[in-house]
Structure 1
Amino acid sequence: MDWNGAKVLVTGGAGQIGANLVERLVGMGAQITVADNLWRGKKSNLLKDGKPMINMETQFLELDLAERAACDMACAGQDIVIHLADVVAGINFVFGNQYFLFNKNALIDNNMIQAALDAGVEKYVFVGSACSYPADKQAVLNPPPFKEEDVYPALPESAYGWSKLMGEYLCELAAQSGKMETGVLRFHNVYGPRCEMSPEKSQVIPALIRKAIRHPKEDFVVWGSGVQRRAFVYVDDAVEGLIRVVERGMGKGAIQIGPDFSTSIREVAEQAVAASGREIEIVFDPTKPEGDMDRAADWTKAREILGWEPTVGVAEGIKRTYAWCEAELHRLDNQT
């Protein structure tokens, strides 16, 4: 596929995955429009070497995609939509705002896909989540790596997992209309540069990196026992999956993006401390929620259909993320 000149809408394009995708697509000559309400995304994420990657006056739309008119505006004239926008944050927010989160994501996903259909968009990519797997499958350590079909019978632990599964189903139904090609990637835990680091909205790796950088002003406390495990995906590998699903994976059903092994949160904490180069005591707080116990991805389908494989290991990925976070926090500190 020739991306040069393709009109591509990236929803959530000022977020971690979206901004890294925008950088990649701009380099390939695509004409990018970003739609983002800046709830977690930041305009600064769309800078490269201090300069905007897109025209922020004409190619950036600050919109609430829970509103249908906003979705119509964003989809108008687009060839491809890559729909990353959703409401998510750390585990405390996810489980503390379940109705809000499910309702908002359902509105966003329904409005976006209908707007894309009405606008005549040719290709539509939806990003799901490994949180959609049944809670009982993730409740034990070292389960077999999940296959795509293991998501059913459905019983996600969280409203977030349910919302993302419903988004996948919407894509299946839209594809059946014959009016639009759809592609679905089911991401495991993505991390990397341009991540959200705030205490309110950050997920585990950026949260622990922030604590390591801020220590001793901020205590290095790990939520839960540290035994819980996740399959972490470096953001560049996630972006590669998004490029390849448009090129090779449309109409192929959900495709997982993640490694076939998991890493404990204790190991993540140790890697964050190692990246700091300092001696920091790691404190675990078992009174805090841990979420699902363990999950990993059987990425056979990604390999066979997309030619995709994970390329950046957790230790190297955390080093790169730590360096970005340290520079970003220094920049923010200098602004105050």
Structure 2
Amino acid sequence: MRILVTGGAGFIGSHLCERLLDEGHDVICLDNFFTGNKRNIMHMMENRRFELIRHDVTQPILLEVERIFNLACPASPIHYQYNPVKTTKTSVMGAINMLGLAKRVRARILQASTSEVYGDPQVHPQPESYWGNVNTLGVRSCYDEGKRVAETLMMDYHRQNNVDVKIIRIFNTYGPKMAENDGRVVSNFILQALKGEDITVYGQGEQTRSFCFVSDLVEGMLRMMDRPGFTGPVNLGNPTETTILEFAKKIIALTGSRSRIVYKPLPADDPKQRQPDISLAKEMLGWEPTVAVDEGLRQTIEYFDSVLSAG
């Protein structure tokens, strides 16, 4: 197939492009390189089935494709809060433009939504039926609300125009090719540990997260795209829950670091709990994570170690 991946030079997008090429598809990677990195895709540039287009999804584009993976949007608080208006426009106008394209060429489109649509959840773990507890006025709202509107647009285009849509809600994902400067807990902790710096834990580290390795996520995305008659939304993430403090200690042990743990105040609207209920993914996609956290972290640590060595 001829497949478009928006945000294809990003962390998850580049892994998805690799997998699609491995399966024999023609891949168009579209990215404006606000958070994407050419380093993530350079090794694919020699492949005749790979094409790169520098483009911003807030602007329309005319292409002939059969499937669209819409991943374009800064996904870490540091990046999406840098220009919150642009973040909202990317989610909302990007979805409108990609849905317009899907409608014109009759392509199936998958929207990469997020666990952030659940906000600071009052239901735990979070099933897809939960409507969320989101602050519409906070510093994270540009991302949370942008993604919620994108989901709304997907369903309205589906109901009104019969566009074939798929919605996934991505929970914390990690692995090689994560950006070093994205402020996420995995990259922060690993880099601090490798450099022997203090590891920064917010609050008392009692907030929980669940971490899914990127190859597991990509597998879930492909299964969802290939599943007929199911729009979602569906949670994709690892249901194994851990506290941030436990996670910091695990990374210190795996890196053999002498880093100390230091505590700082919690950021605004930081969710206290985050854990997916993946019952629906198991039922409809036959999917669940297979990469153990320790193994995934070893691969991620090796990647960041090589990045630091390269200078």
**TM-score, length-scaled by structure 2:** 0.90
Structure 1 residue 170: deviation in Å? 1.1
Q: Is the 8 A contact 2:58 2:89 kept in 1?
A: no
For the residue of structure 2 that corresponds to 1:61, the secondary structure is strand
1:26 is aligned, of 21, 24, 27, to: 21
Counterpart of 2:210 in structure 1 is 231
Pairs within 5 Å for 1:171-186: 171-186=154-169
Aligned-residue offset at 1:288: 4.7
Amino acid at match of 2:131: V
Q: For 1:53 and 1:132, locate their aligned partners in 2 and report how far apart those are by CA, in whole Å.
A: 38
Question: Structure 2 vs 1, CA of residues 280 and 290 (structure 1 numbering), >3 Å: closer, same or farther?
Answer: farther
Distance (whole Å) between structure 2 residues aligned to residue 223 and residue 33 of structure 1: 39
How far off is 1:32 after superposition? 0.4
Give unmatched runs, 5+ long, in structure 1.
1-5, 138-142
Instruction: Report how far residue 112 of structure 1 moved.
Output: 1.9
Question: In the TM superposition, what is the alpha-carbon distance from 1:98 to its structure 2 partner?
Answer: 3.9
Question: Residues 209 and 241 of structure 2 are in contact (CA less than 8 Å); yes or no, is this contact kept in structure 1?
Answer: yes
What is the one-letter code of the residue matched to 1:204? V
Distance 2:14 2:223 in 1: 17
> Equivalent residue for 2:219?
240
- Match for residue 112 of structure 1 among 81, 86, 98: 98
CA distance in 1, matches of 2:13, 2:26: 14
**Counterpart residue number, 1:82:** 69
In 2 relative to 1, CA 278–261 (structure 1 residues): closer, same or farther, beyond 3 Å? closer
Distance 1:266 1:302 in 2: 29
- Measure the CA separation in 2 of the matches of 1:223 and 1:154: 20
Instruction: Please give the alpha-carbon distance, in whole angstroms, between the structure 1 residues aligned to 2:132 and 2:271.
Output: 17
Residue identity matched to 1:182: V
Q: Deviations over 1:277-315 (max 9, x none)?
A: 122211121265571000211111101111100112222
For residues 147 and 131 of structure 1, the distance between their equivalents in structure 2, rounded to whole angstroms, comes to 13
8 Å contact from structure 1 (residues 26, 53) kept in 2: no
Q: 1:252 to 1:116 in 2, by over 3 A?
A: closer
Match for 2:297 among 311, 318, 321? Answer: 318
8 A Cα contact 1:225 1:290, kept in partner: no
State the 1:105 CA deviation: 2.2
Aligned residue number for residue 122 of structure 1? 107
SS at match of 1:269: helix
How much has 1:259 moved relative to structure 2?
Answer: 2.6
Mark the CA change 1:225 to 1:95 in structure 2 (over 3 Å): closer, same or farther.
farther
Work out the CA distance in 2 between the residues paired with 1:290 and 1:268.
21
Counterpart for residue 33 of structure 2: 38
In the alignment, structure 1 residue 213 sits paired with structure 2 residue 194: yes
Mean Cα deviation higher: 265-274 or 235-244: 265-274
Question: Partner of 1:67 in structure 2?
Answer: 59
Does the CA-based 8 Å contact 2:224-2:285 persist in structure 1? yes
- Residue 277 of structure 2 aligns with which residue? 298
Q: After TM superposition, give the deviation of residue 185 of structure 1 in Å.
A: 0.6
Maintained 8 Å contact 2:196/2:258: no
SS at match of 2:129: helix
Q: Secondary structure in 1 aligned to 2:167?
A: strand
Structure 2 vs 1, CA of residues 294 and 124 (structure 1 numbering), >3 Å: closer, same or farther?
same
8 Å CA contact retained: 2:114, 2:147: yes
Could you tell me which runs of 5 or more consecutive residues in structure 2 were left unpaired when the two chains were aligned. none
- Cα distance in 2 for partners of 1:324, 1:288 equals 28
Separation in structure 2 between the aligned mates of residue 54 and residue 46 of structure 1, nearest angstrom: 11
**Do the aligned residues in 1 keep the contact of 2:120 with 2:272 (CA within 8 Å)?**
no
Per-residue CA shift, 1:195-232, capped at 9, x if unaligned?
A: 0111xx3311112111112224xx43233321111121
* Matched AA of 1:108: G
Partner of 1:140: none
Describe the shift of the 1:153–1:174 C-alpha distance in structure 2 as closer, same or farther (beyond 3 A): farther
- How far apart are the structure 2 equivalents of 1:241 and 1:287? 32
- Judge which range, 148-157 or 18-27, deviates more: 148-157
Distance 2:214 2:57 in 1: 24
Contact 1:66 1:104 in 2 (8 A): yes
What is the total number of aligned residue pairs between the two structures? Answer: 308
**TM-score of the two chains, using structure 1 as the length reference:** 0.84
Deviations 1:31-88 (A, max 9, x none): 001001111111111145xx646459x70011111112xxx23xx1100001111123
SS at match of 1:301: helix
CA distance in 2, matches of 1:80, 1:148: 24
